[in-house]
A and B are shown apart, each in its own frame.
Chain A
């Protein structure tokens, strides 16, 4: 079945194989001719295919935007925003979200079997980039016969994909919402990723990346990677509010040992141990690498504005005041570059103490701004107003 026929929603998700007719050439030079993409759609594509919104997920996200996660049972990661009558209104828009190339929720990645060898790709999987992820998304969008997306939206690594779309396929993006993101991965962020990767690689159960074949799993390494990363998604204020220096419920004094005395330790351990049940260690290596390599200015002669030259896309850039992983200054760089080409851009820094993760949480001011932007863009695109007939 072609992707275009799969417009009815299926909570379990959908898959499509791409690249058979025309191999996908990755930035590293490798060509892939059988890329399976796991994706999800919500709503219906309209007659002239002008109401499609592509949602780009973050590092450890997936295409279960508004459906229960099949492994954890938890609600979709952007369920607050996606649904009938919601901000990304499934009654009006056709929403697409796909698991990124290199991911581990059904899209071709290191966990999947390499058709050429019959074994999991593991470390033989080619190193991928944000550009490669976008290229695969574009093929998926092609399969629906959609020329131009009404909107491409995403936070964090999803925001990098949004920017990449706008730079490499500008005519295919009517409006763009890069949230809590940057046009390049900073040295500090690369450093945090490296800590995570080294934790995985140092785990003897990683087995040079061959753990699936050898029947082991680098649980401890991946859990430590997640623990370190998780801190960067929060803020000092948020951690203090949530845990302070409080001891765990059953303790009223220090144990004078290295068990989890503090609530914050126990919380992080929990984050680490649940993460390993849903995420592949090699995928973590590959996807963090893709983010590290991302530098939109470098791809355009060292001048970020060149990446957006002549753009007709309407932009809404948003950052959060307590986000120290993708601080407001990074969003401003993007805004300044867009101003330099006189692009149509809105930008707001939302006051929040919830850190980087704020883009996933209930932030009324952010949602009001985003909702207004989407409505304004829909009006300019000639899409029916909220509550109107399409």
Chain B
């Protein structure tokens, strides 16, 4: 879930996502938490924003700010929306917690013209080292849960993700590698180096030809 940092300021990776959204566009934020990003987009980019959030507390906080958010999840609630209902569908740090990531991605690009997806990179060296050297399931700054209480059930590496996009005929318009604080790393977000050093991947996707 997202943190609230007060009005005006956004978490670094959210700001990066926010900058990619067209002013005045229709946006669906899947896993929107308390609506921090939607609220910022409404105030600063006049977007027509909608959200989906699993927790009652998140929904309640978001609706109490005047946002349009439904209690639901990416697995069950994306299928109802009509094709092309949104300009941009955002899935921030949630893909790995969905039951059917493949269907979620497909649905995002059915109902949205573009999708913006960020996820923790399970291919990062810290993760690899944690498992290879430590012999334990990795717990890092971006993967903070122990194996027994994690909501994350479908981890992937950046390479896994780009491969799934290929299979689904999804075009990668932008790929950005992020460090653990959400800062941008100076390399292709879809390359082998990113897969080794990036803590998170951030992708802008559209339907392939």
**Closest B residue by C-beta to A331:** B71
State which of B14-22, B56-64, B90-98, B113-121 sits at the interface with chain A.
B56-64
Nearest residue (CB) in B for A328 is: B71
Stretch at the interface among A68-76, A130-138, A218-226, A337-345: A337-345
Let me know if B81 and A339 touch, CB within 8 A: yes
B183 at the A interface (CB under 8 A):
no
Which of A341, A345, A365, A372 meets B70, CB within 8 Å?
A345
Nearest CB in chain B to that of A316: its residue: B63
**Which of B59, B72, B80 contacts A340, CB < 8 Å?**
B80
Q: How many residues of B contact A (CB 8 A)?
A: 19
Complex contact B67–A368 (CB within 8 A)? no
Say whether A349 contacts B81, CB under 8 Å: no
Please encode chain B, from 25 to 69, with 1 for each CB lying within 8 Å of some chain A CB and 0 for all others: 000000000000000000000000010000010011001111111
Q: Chain A nearest CB: distance from B6 CB in Å?
A: 18
Q: Which of B63, B65, B77 contacts A348 (CB 8 A)?
A: B63
Task: Tally the A-B contacts, defined by beta carbons under 8 Å.
Answer: 71
Q: Is A379 an interface residue, CB under 8 A from the partner?
A: yes
Tell whether A373 pairs with B63 under 8 Å between CB atoms, given A346-B68, A348-B71, A349-B56: yes
- A375 an interface residue at 8 Å Cβ cutoff? yes
| A346-B80 contact, Cβ under 8 Å, with A335-B70, A339-B70, A351-B56 | no
Q: How far is the CA of A371 from the CA of B71 in the complex (A)?
A: 17
B81 touches A371 (CB 8 A): no
Is the CB–CB distance between B68 and A348 below 8 Å? no
Q: Select A369's contact among B50, B59, B80, beta carbons within 8 Å.
A: B59
The 5 closest A-B pairs by CB, nearest first: A376-B66, A372-B64, A347-B70, A339-B80, A342-B85
Kindly state the separation between the CA atoms of A316 and B59 in the bound complex, as whole angstroms.
11
**A337 vs B64: C-alpha distance in the bound complex, in angstroms?**
23
B81, A348: Cβ atoms closer than 8 Å = no
**Chain B residues touching A, majority SS:** mixed
| CA gap between A123 and B60 in the complex, in Å | 46
Q: Which residues of chain A in 336-388 are interfacial with respect to chain B, using CB atoms and an 8 Å cutoff? A: 336-337, 339-342, 344-351, 365, 368-369, 371-373, 375-377, 379
A57 at interface (Cβ–Cβ under 8 A)? no
Chain B residues with CB under 8 Å of A339's CB are: 70, 77, 80-81
Kindly list 12 other residue pairs between chains A and B, CB separation below 8 angstroms, not including A339-B70, A373-B63: A339-B77, A339-B81, A346-B67, A346-B68, A346-B69, A347-B69, A348-B71, A351-B56, A365-B60, A368-B60, A376-B67, A376-B68
CA distance A339 to B89 in the complex (A): 14
How far is it, in angstroms, between the C-alpha of A318 and the C-alpha of B50 when the chains are bound?
17
Known: A339-B77, A349-B56. A368 touches B82 (CB 8 A): no
A317 to B71, CA, bound (A): 10
With contacts A335-B72, A376-B67 taken as known, whether A348 is within 8 angstroms of B60 at the C-beta atoms is yes
CB of B48, distance to nearest CB on chain A (Å): 8
The size class of the interface chain A forms with chain B is 20 to 34
In the assembled complex, the Cα of A39 lies from the Cα of B72 at a distance in Å of 38
Q: Kindly state whether residue A314 has any CB partner on chain B within 8 Å.
A: yes
Q: How far is the CA of A373 from the CA of B63 in the complex (A)?
A: 6
Using CB atoms, name the residue of chain A closest to B49: A344
The answer to whether A347 and B72 touch across the interface, beta carbons within 8 angstroms, is yes
Asked whether, in the complex, the Cβ of A346 is within 8 Å of the Cβ of B70, the reply is yes
Residue from A314, A337, A348, A375 within 8 A of B59 (CB atoms): A348
Q: Is the CB of B66 within 8 A of A375?
A: yes
A88–chain B nearest beta-carbon distance, Å? 16
- Nearest-Cβ distance from residue B84 to partner chain A, whole angstroms: 9
Please tell me if the beta carbons of A369 and B70 are within 8 angstroms of each other in the complex.
no
Quick one: closest B residue to A379, CB to CB? B66
Determine whether the beta carbon of A372 is less than 8 Å from that of B63.
yes
Complex CA distance for A342 and B78, rounded to whole angstroms:
11
| Residues of A with C-beta under 8 A to B67 | 346, 376
Q: Given A348-B60, A349-B56, answer yes or no on A342-B82 (Cβ-Cβ < 8 Å).
A: yes
* Binary contact track A192-223/B, C-beta < 8 Å → 1, others 0: 00000000000000000000000000000000
On whether the beta carbons of A344 and B50 are closer than 8 Å, the reply is: yes
Bound-state Cα–Cα, A350 to B59, Å: 10
Q: Which residues of A contact B59 (CB under 8 A)?
A: 346-348, 369
Per the bound structure, the CA–CA distance linking A339 and B30 in Å amounts to 14
- 24 residue pairs of the A-B complex, CB under 8 angstroms, read A314-B68, A316-B63, A335-B72, A337-B80, A339-B77, A339-B80, A339-B81, A340-B80, A340-B81, A342-B81, A345-B68, A346-B59, A346-B63, A347-B71, A347-B72, A348-B60, A350-B56, A351-B56, A368-B60, A369-B63, A369-B64, A373-B64, A376-B66, A376-B67
Q: In the complex the two chains form, what is the Cα distance from A346 to B68 in whole Å?
A: 5
Name A351's closest neighbour in chain B (CB-CB).
B56
Closest approach, in angstroms, between the C-beta of B12 and any C-beta of chain A? 27
Given A339-B77, A339-B80, check contact A344 B68 (CB 8 Å).
Answer: yes
Q: Which of A317, A339, A365 has the most CB of B within 10 A?
A: A339
List residues 180-197 of chain B with CB under 8 A from any CB of chain A.
Answer: none
How near does chain B come to A307, taking the closest CB pair, in angstroms? 14
Contact with A along B130-166 (1 / 0, CB 8 A): 0000000000000000000000000000000000000
